[in-house]
């Protein structure tokens, strides 16, 4: 699981559970939950969360049970990067 903090300082986890299907593949979150999750992340936690998402994907890249979650981790990382770019987070002017 990858953890970060929300805007109120409470922990957020991705994936929220390790529930599996009949084949043992960890079930990903519904796609419609990803954008609200990105919006809930504290601004100062976006880029560290992206790093943890990518590192988690890299560590489990050869584990078939994580395949669906890994795809979502990368999508979530992209959404976080898009938000950071849009808000100018991490950019020094």
Q: How confident is the model at residue 71 (pLDDT cuts 50, 70, 90)?
A: very high
Structure tokens at 73: 């981790």
Q: What is the pLDDT of residue 92?
A: 65
For the chain, the domains span 2-87
Query: How many C-beta atoms lie closer than 10 Å to residue 13's C-beta?
Result: 11
* Overall average pLDDT of the 27-54 stretch: 92
Residues 45-63: tens digit of each pLDDT: 999 999 999 999 998 888 8
Query: How many C-beta atoms lie closer than 10 Å to residue 2's C-beta?
Result: 20
Query: How many C-beta atoms lie closer than 10 Å to residue 36's C-beta?
Result: 8
Q: Is the pLDDT of residue 1 over 80?
A: no
Q: What is the pLDDT of residue 75?
A: 95
């Amino acid at each position: 699981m990858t953890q970060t903090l929300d805007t109120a300082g409470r922990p957020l986890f991705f994936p929220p559970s390790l529930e599996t299907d009949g084949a043992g593949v960890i079930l990903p979150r519904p796609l419609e939950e990803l954008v609200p999750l990105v919006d809930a992340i504290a601004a100062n936690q976006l880029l560290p969360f992206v790093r943890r998402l990518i590192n988690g994907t890299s560590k489990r890249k050869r584990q078939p049970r994580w395949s669906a979650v890994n795809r979502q981790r990368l999508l979530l990382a992209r959404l976080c990067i898009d938000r950071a770019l849009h808000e100018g987070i991490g950019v020094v002017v």
